[in-house]
């Protein structure tokens, strides 16, 4: 009787141990993951001060860029501001605070040239993607037509290099007099 009780208890203990799946040691397993490199380009021309959407178009574009930052948790973000010219305000980074500060610092007086140089914005954004094999994305926040006819050629050249461009229109169809 005692031997049978010991054997049943031992069998139950070994069964529980087997269900726990104990493992000895460890193995290194390297995995590669492709993320997104997102450059946000915001139009900072004077027309972005129109108040057809509250509080104005530029403030709304800034809020949309910050919302995008919240969604892109592990992706790198960069910022290009453009009007008559384009400038890389924030290079690609995973630092949310640096991106947020760059977005909040945007103003219509940053680039003194008036107009909307969309081709230059695309070219500047393409220059921000220097290394890595991540997916390249450009998100354009713009309110009007391009003052430069080279935008289509710049977009086609960027597409050949693997850049995906998403354009977000800011403003209403009625617009507002400036």
Q: What is the pLDDT of residues 87-130, one digit of tens each?
A: 999 999 999 999 999 999 999 888 888 888 899 999 999 999 88
Please indicate, yes or no, whether the overall pTM of this predicted structure exceeds 0.85: no
Ranges of residues in the chain whose predicted pLDDT is under 70: 33, 132, 145-147, 178
Q: Rounded CA gap, 115 and 17, in Å?
A: 73
Q: Rounded CA gap, 121 and 85, in Å?
A: 7
């Amino acid at each position: 009787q005692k031997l049978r009780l010991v054997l049943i208890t031992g069998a139950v203990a070994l069964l529980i141990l087997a269900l726990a799946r104990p493992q000895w040691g460890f193995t290194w397993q390297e995995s590669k993951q492709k993320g997104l490199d997102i450059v946000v380009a915001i139009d900072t021309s004077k027309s972005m001060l129109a108040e057809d959407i509250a509080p104005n178009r530029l403030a709304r574009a800034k809020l949309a860029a910050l919302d995008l930052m919240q969604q892109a948790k592990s992706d790198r973000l960069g910022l290009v501001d453009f009007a008559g010219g384009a400038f890389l305000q924030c290079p690609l980074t995973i630092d949310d605070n640096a991106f947020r500060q760059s977005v909040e610092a945007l103003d219509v007086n940053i680039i003194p040239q008036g107009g909307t140089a969309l081709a230059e914005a695309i070219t500047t954004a393409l220059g921000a993607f220097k290394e890595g094999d991540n997916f390249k994305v450009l998100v354009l926040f713009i309110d009007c037509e391009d003052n430069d006819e080279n935008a289509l050629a710049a977009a086609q050249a960027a597409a050949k290099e693997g850049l995906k461009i998403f354009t977000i229109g800011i403003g209403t169809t009625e617009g507002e007099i400036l």
